[in-house]
Structure 1
């Protein structure tokens, strides 16, 4: 598992039009957040702080219940840290998702399920702002929001909390065996 250290640096790369994280040892991580969704401070070179490392650990712990490879978990966690620090505020786009009878009050790092007319997916909570939360897609398969629009792994969306259900990991189906002989 990739461990943060104080030499990591956030910077904006104009050539790639993307926020990057220099991990040292000739490793560069390209953040999945589109440039138009970055706050102005994302364009200045800054260190990966102790707070960033703490948030990174919170995200990794929360996603332990997901069936993702270790590299995918690191990718999701680094994108989530970038979103928690550099993402512009969004308006909720809750209309894509079914409303639930009981709303959630998710915490940063929680995994929730959101359901559309066509599918459902797991999301990592980046931040809860009271009645809505910034969420990051935690499934590697695309989620159809409607027949013409999909979300991909690590994309963000803000959703009202009454659209969420808690995710507790994959449910194992018991197998009934018949003894023969």
Structure 2
């Protein structure tokens, strides 16, 4: 997976109408956040900070168990860093999701599940804002929110915490009986 360094730079590409991250060595990452969801400072060139590198490492560790490819994990982690730094505040859209009996109090980088009448998907928590959290979808396949609306990999949505559950990773232990 990628290793952040002090030559990485955020910039806005007006031709591509997108926030980009210059990774050096002729590699550029295009952030998936729509322009309408970016805060004003996203249009200024700035360095990939130590805080960004720390966030990248935190997200990378929290998604390490997900069943997606290494390049997709890098994409998810970089988009999560971009969202944590440059995403505009948004109102919750919790009506798409079913309330859970207890809900949860997620922290940044937690993996949670959200359920609609169409299925269940895993999300990465970008920021907990008290009673609601900004979440990024981790599923590769599109996830139906309703009959007419769906989310794609790395799309963000803000959801009330009473709609989410902590993701429980199934761990298989290979134990041998001795004796």
The 5 Å alignment of 1:5-16 reads 5-16=5-16
Aligned to 2:176: none
Root-mean-square deviation (Å) = 0.9
Per-residue deviation, residues 59-117 of structure 1 (Å, max 9, x unmatched): 01111221111100000000000000000000000000010110211111110000001
Which 4+ runs in 1 deviate beyond 3 A?
A: none
Correspondence list, 1:38-117, <5 A: 38-117=38-117
| Change over 3 Å in CA distance of 1:21–1:154 after alignment to 2 | same
Determine helix, strand or coil for the equivalent of 1:64: coil
Alpha-carbon spacing, 1:57–1:120, altered in 2? closer, same or farther (3 Å): same
Would you say the 8 A contact 1:65–1:168 is kept in 2?
no
| TM-score relative to the length of structure 1 | 0.93
Distance 1:53 1:171 in 2: 29
| In 1: Cα distance, 2:67 partner to 2:28 partner | 25
Of 33-42 and 61-70, more deviation after overlay is shown by 61-70
The change in CA–CA distance for 1:142 and 1:130 in structure 2 (over 3 A counts) is same
Where does structure 1 lack aligned partners over 5 or more consecutive residues?
173-181
Instruction: State the Cα deviation string for residues 11-56 of structure 1 (Å, max 9, x = none).
Output: 0000000000000000000000000000000000000000000001
CA distance in 1, matches of 2:53, 2:67: 23
User: What TM-score, normalized to structure 2?
Assistant: 0.94
1:171: how far off? 6.9
Once residues 85 and 54 of structure 2 are traced to their aligned partners in structure 1, the CA distance between those partners, rounded to angstroms, is 12
Q: Is the 8 A contact 1:92 1:159 kept in 2?
A: yes
Matched, 1:131 2:134: no
